[in-house]
Structure 1
Amino acid sequence: MIDNLFVFDNVIHLYDLSAGNVRADRDDALPARDRILDYIRAQVRDPRAAPGGRREFQWDIRWSVEEMHALVFDGSATDMAMAQTVPMFDWFEDWYSPVRTQHAMAAAYPDRVLFCGGVDPGYRGLADALEQIDHQARVLGARSFKFYNGHAQLKDCWRCDDEKLAYPMYERALANGVRVLQFHKGNPYGLQNMEWLSPVDLQAPARDFPQSDFIVHHLALPYFEEMVSIATRFPNVYLSLAGFMAFYRVAPRRVQEHIGRLLQTAGSDKILWGSEAALAGNPQPYLEAFMELQIPDDLRAGYGYPQITREDRRKILGGNFARIMGVDLEAARRRLGLVAEAA
């Protein structure tokens, strides 16, 4: 916990950026992988470096269960997390964040980690995606599913409101008792057509599947205005900060503006903490930055943004995601040997 607040991280990824996972049949695969590595090296301190120091770190690896536990749980105030599959097959043989390693993380630490599966109808067709939903839910115990509908090649892209392609996946997830659906929106990689990552195609499914909860990652940037409108209007749409606090180091004003706007419009009940480890490095600096975050007086006076409160932080850091996932935080505190939160 941090300041006696339970931290339930919506999103960690055991990535595989190793050379062996790069697709040999795609000329753009290695350059795309290298662009991702360049971004990490430019933005993130080595989580294993000495405090305040920098050294070259081998990010082009397949993250292991032990390494992720050391990074997230030994290295930060995180109490629980969800290991999420990223079904990005464009440049990676075993996907960007493979099913097997996310499941292995949850299997190794069942008291701390939930498994989020992932499928894509562009990979081997809709029938295979539906079979994978069955397998991941019934055999692997997936508590949620992650979707990535915008791809490097247009033939692989699909809309989240496609009633013939997308809706059967949502229906199959519900049939397996999984109602939490998560989507990468915004934040395009490489030469993708960014409009496929707009969140506007989530409005129809959010309306047509009121029994499901839709979690959107990265605040759908650069589609922030659209995302705020959707999250404000649809009661079953939530926003994951998913690595967003990493910007606080270089652009604190931007973060203050976005968080202030979200508190004003969508409300703190709709916001989920997400570190994006390991891609964003050790979660601890971002947790500390979030605890120190204040909405400046000029933004409050000029735009009417509310000040962030301790209750807001409690909800965002873990309370909201626990409610969505049906996790009893008091029971989790006892199970993990944590001191109960003060009233």
Structure 2
Amino acid sequence: MNIDDLVAIDIHTHAEEPCCSPRVDGYDEFQAGLAKYFKNPAGAQGMLPTVQETAAYYRERKIGAVIFPVDSERETGFRRYENEDVARIAAENSDILIPFASIDPAKGRKGAREARRLVREFGVRGFKFHPTMQGFYPNDRSAYPLYEAIAEEGAITLFHTGQTGVGAGMRGGMNMRLKYSNPMYLDDVAADFPDMPIIAAHPAFPWQEEALAVATHKPNVYIDLSGWSPKYFPEILVKYTNSLLKHKMLFGSDWPAITPDRWLSDFEKIAIKDEVRPLVLKENARRLLQL
């Protein structure tokens, strides 16, 4: 990966196309609901991009991309996209893709062993957690064996925070519980694992100030700006991006739900200082990922 040639690094993209066929576990209905929430016709029509197609899309735009699946088998019943498969495809496209993995913390020490193997044998750089989809509080001690393995291997953690489009508008919210994704729970994780980088994903509505407080207070906590068009960013988020947290804010799109084209176009139109824009778009991720 030639970082100097890239215009940006997208810290938040999903490996979303069905990993197994046919899907009879409710996954298609879930994607249709998600597509409706994000007004994403590709998801509604079952035309989600493959990881290879994602690589081609980002290569054309000269944007690096961190890509990951989400292991939510226990809570949703959806078969997970195998971490090894995502990592292999990322390795084939290492000029543009950076592999993260996902492991349900409920797997305990088995999950910790998997995390170590993925880092050592597959070059995985970080791990994605979705507390609402995975049904756990990030500071639950049962997750700590997995965090310990990740921290010892020098990898990064990325946690969904705030409301989610997953289950939005569906009956019972698809049984998703928003309470798990309050970013304040990451404060305990950051204190207990002070050398493990933690990314709080998304503008964390309705807990935006909690997310800003944790990132300001804990040196190892960053915020990615994915999942929302920048035109909807609250004023206080823009203020902190321009000041106290300018070295800790990261560009992320939430592909394929939100495209980088849309996100970057809207980012150009908000009041971000000229000297801060390159930090958000590439330099902060470059430093965090040690590229």
TM bucket (normalised to shorter chain) is 0.7 to 0.9
Q: 1:234 to 1:309 in 2, by over 3 A?
A: same
Q: 2: CA distance between counterparts of 1:23 and 1:216? A: 32
Q: 2: distance between equivalents of 1:309 and 1:265?
A: 9
Partner of 2:170: none
Taking the aligned partners of 2:158 and 2:234, their CA distance within structure 1 comes to 25
Q: 1:309 to 1:261 in 2, by over 3 A?
A: closer
* Structure 1 residue 216: Cα displacement: 0.8
**Number of equivalences:** 279
Per-residue deviation, 1:266: 4.0
Q: CA RMSD in A?
A: 2.7
Quote the residue 1:314 is aligned against.
Answer: 278
Residue 37 of structure 1 is matched in structure 2 by 35
Residue 199 of structure 1: how far off its partner (Å):
1.2
* Deviation (angstroms), 1:137: 1.1
Q: TM-score, normalised by structure 2?
A: 0.84
User: How far apart are residue 324 of structure 1 and its match?
Assistant: 0.7
TM-score, reference length from structure 1: 0.73
**Distance of 1:169 and 1:265 partners within structure 2:** 34
Distance in 2 between residues matched to 1:5 and 1:110, nearest whole Å: 13
**How do 1:1-343 and structure 2 match up within 5 A?**
6-17=7-18, 20=21, 22=23, 24=25, 31-40=29-38, 42=39, 44=40, 59-61=45-47, 63-74=49-60, 76-78=61-63, 80-89=64-73, 90-91=75-76, 93-95=78-80, 98-122=82-106, 125-151=107-133, 157-163=135-141, 165-178=142-155, 180-188=156-164, 189-190=166-167, 191=173, 192-245=176-229, 248=230, 252=231, 254-255=232-233, 257-263=235-241, 266-281=244-259, 283-294=260-271, 308-327=272-291
Note the alpha carbon deviations across 1:132-179, whole angstroms, 9 max, x for none: 11221122111111112223xxxx62222223x12211111122232x
Q: Which residue is equivalent to 1:335?
A: none
Larger radius of gyration: 1
The CA deviation string for residues 276-310 of structure 1, in whole angstroms up to 9 with x for no partner, is 222213x123213212322xxxxxxxxxxxxx222
In 2, Cα distance between equivalents of 1:111 and 1:71: 13
Shift of 1:5: 7.5
Q: Distance in 1 between matches of 2:223 and 2:184?
A: 14
Aligned CA distance change for structure 1 residues 21 and 142 (closer, same or farther; 3 Å): farther
Is this contact kept in 2: 1:272–1:321, CA < 8 A?
yes
What secondary structure does 2:288 align onto?
helix
Equivalent-residue separation in structure 2 for 1:266 and 1:92 (angstroms):
41
Task: Give % identity.
Answer: 23
Partner deviation per Cα, 1:196-215 (whole Å, 9 max, x = no partner): 11111111110121111110
Aligned 8 A contact 1:161 1:205 in 2: yes
8 Å Cα contact 1:33-1:91 kept in structure 2: no
